[in-house]
Amino acid sequence: MIRKNAMTFCAAAALLGVAAAPAHAGKTLDAIKARGQLVCGVNEGLAGFSAADSQGKWAGIDVDVCKAIAAAILGDANKVKWVPLNAQQRFTALQSGEIDILSRNTTWTLTRDASLGMNFTGVTYYDGQGFMVPAKLNLKSAKQLKGATVCVQSGTTTEKNLTDFSRANNLNIKPVVFEKQEASTGAYFSGRCVAFTTDASGLASIRNKEAKNPAEHVILPDLISKEPLGPAVRRGDDEFFAIAKWVQYALIEAEDYGITQANVDKMMKSENPAIGRILGGTEDTGKLLGLDKNWAANAIKAVGNYGEMFERNVGPKSPLGLPRGLNNLWSHGGLMYAPPVR
């Protein structure tokens, strides 16, 4: 019995030893460190998510994700090379190694997850597909679009969702398909289509940025799909996959514990064990990811917690004016819930 218990103890100790062992660097992490830069694929221009200003400075939720990862790995949020991609280019760019991570308002679906050689790292924005129409039409529901022409971008989940919605409701909607988003929105604003459809967040961004008078266009209340948007990395590199996941989780955890961009240094001294683990004040979780112990603190200093990212880029006080809704913390009635950093 003593021998059996001893063997059990040794086996458990061995397992604990393996679990606590430092991570070895993966090829993507090695490449990022060697070039001193994270290569991030983003949208060509979607306000609130990824868009460049006249000075070439990128901003948005998707941009902040890459800045946070760069800060966690390299200690500098500015060490990012931005690669603008359209819907057709995005997956090939990731598969070919042109980019390290795709952070471009991309919907997580089974087909994409299982057949495109990539792993989604989490959800950064819970969305749903909607419709924008001219206010003068006085439409109240997407189900009033029977026989209507609807502008839509090809190579997206949006196109298939539109077809499914039309068939399910016997609407005989006539899709007008364009390869590039600019062409699709341009056709809508010129009057070629009765409606334009994409993710509801994208509709708010496009209306604010491209409409001559945003008040002349309304976003209908109908959401016809679930669109969990998030970044993706190539399959085959578990080390970088873990880094990308846990940086996102750390930003959500930070909001949960009241850690902000402004108070990170002060919170380092917190007696709360969970905060100590997140910020590296009491435990070095970074060694498990192949990173410095301050990896999460660096990410939060760079972009703030998830709530700060949301408010700055798309929240009620931003030009997009989107409510927090499903993107609120789980403790506030939303879906944002992160596994614990421990």
Minimal CA–CA distance to 318: which of 66, 64, 92? Answer: 64
Half-sphere CA count of 19, side-chain side, radius 13 A: 7
| 129-225 CATH | 3.40.190.10
Reading the block at residue 290, the tokens are 């192949």
Cβ atoms within 10 Å of 112's Cβ, excluding its own: 16
Return averaged pLDDT per consecutive 10 residues of the chain, 342 residues in all: 46 46 76 98 95 96 98 98 95 98 96 97 97 97 98 91 97 95 94 97 94 96 96 97 98 98 96 96 95 97 98 95 96 97 94
Minimal CA–CA distance to 146: which of 155, 154, 137? Answer: 137
- Residue 211: CB partners within 8 Å, gap ≥ 6? 189, 217
pLDDT at 3 (0 to 100): 47
Angle between helices 61-74 and 238-256 (to 10 degrees): 110
Long-range contacts of 35-39 (CB under 8 A, 24+ apart): 36/74, 36/79, 37/70, 37/74, 37/79, 37/80, 37/81, 38/66, 38/69, 38/70, 38/73, 38/74, 38/79, 38/80, 38/81, 38/100, 38/101, 39/80, 39/81, 39/83, 39/98, 39/99, 39/100, 39/101
Domain boundaries, the chain: 24-126+229-332, 129-225
Report the distance separating Cα 275 and Cα 291, nearest Å.
18
Task: Give, in degrees to the nearest 5, the angle at Cα 291 between 259 and 254.
Answer: 15
Asked if 24-126+229-332 and 129-225 have one fold, the answer is yes
CATH superfamily of 24-126+229-332: Periplasmic binding protein-like II (3.40.190.10)
Q: Where are the beta strands (DSSP E) in 220-332?
A: 227-229, 232-234
Hey, which residues does 174 pair with through a beta bridge?
149
Return the sign of the alpha-carbon dihedral for residues 295, 296, 298, 302. Answer: positive
CB of 119 closer than 8 Å to CB of 233: yes
Secondary-structure breakdown of the chain: helix, strand, coil percentages, each rounded to the nearest 5: 45, 15, 40
pLDDT at 155 (0 to 100): 83
CB of 124 closer than 8 Å to CB of 244: no
Strands 125-127 and 217-219: unpaired
pLDDT at 163 (0 to 100): 96
pLDDT at 26 (0 to 100): 83
CA dihedral 254, 260, 263, 268 (to 10 degrees): 10
Q: Give the global pTM.
A: 0.88
- DSSP calls for 125-142: EEE-EEEEEEGGG----G
